[in-house]
Amino acid sequence: MNVSEARHAFITGGASGIGLGIAEALAARGVQVTIADANEETLAAVLVSHGDGWRGVVLDVRDRAGWARAKAEAEAAFGPVDIVVNNAGIAPNGQTFADMNPDSFDRIIAINLTGVFNGVHTFAADMRDRGRGHVVNTASMAGLATSVAGTGAYSAAKFGVVSISETLRGELAENGVGVSVLCPGYVQTGLSLNTARLGGETRGGGLAMPPSDISPEQVGDMVVRGIEANDLYIISHPHNWSGVEKRIRGLLAAFGQDL
């Protein structure tokens, strides 16, 4: 879709990191944005520093009743949502499956996977019925390939987000609604801090993300381009191909095929 013709975007995890980068990139194209976030203080600070055309709503993406309220309030202010970005998430917990706390597994799945479904469930039918719109779901490179111990629950959720996105794209294509899945590598964000605020654990107990040469603002621009091109996959770190290649080669070998 032509982003400049979109009127309203709804972005979860929109008060920081990649979500804020996407919100700013869309706002720069004239789109009014509703940013949803579980952190009320961060949300308020962002709204103070941005002008008209921005509004915020406190939302825990696990709360389905909260989703319904957030949609009603957002659309009462800015009209129907043309772009929904399901971006909110928490970090890997650093636990192997054999030793994982079930509550930690459930939290990761509920926020990173079911939270995406909740966003799709809230907005996709209206987009389909209006015959316009675009859905962006944030997965991860860990949703395309993983073998790193301690990231299994996170990766399981992100693989699920990729699957939701691929299936949803086929379901909505004939109705003029696009779907993309964003698969970022490391981006300098507040993911670990946000994880801690929501009661989650992080690998090694640390709060610092690894260094990155890709900023949230750059990812935001990538997402805008991906929406306009109706790309299914939006990859922020194409040089991280090796893990995906290894997985694809393994699948091809199992099918008796070559890359």
Residue 35: CA count within 13 A, CB half-sphere = 30
pLDDT of residue 51: 86
Given pLDDT bands bounded at 50, 70 and 90, which one contains residue 208?
very low
Cα(119)–Cα(242) distance, integer angstroms: 31
**pLDDT exceeds 60 at position 17:** yes
Instruction: Lowest mean pLDDT of 58-62, 80-84, 192-196, 249-253, name the range.
Output: 192-196
User: How high is the mean pLDDT of the chain?
Assistant: 92
As annotated, the active-site residues are 154
Given pLDDT bands bounded at 50, 70 and 90, which one contains residue 259?
confident
CATH of domain 3-254: 3.40.50.720
* 56-114 per-position pLDDT tens digit: 999 999 999 999 999 999 999 999 999 999 999 998 888 999 999 999 999 999 999 99
**pLDDT exceeds 70 at position 27:** yes
pLDDT of residue 189: 56
Strand order across the beta sheet in which 32-37 lies: 54-58, 32-37, 8-12, 83-86, 134-138, 178-183, 233-235
DSSP assignments along 194-231, one per residue? HHHHTT---GGG--PPPP-S--HHHHHHHHHHHHHHT-
The length of the chain, given as a count of residues: 259
pLDDT of residue 87: 98
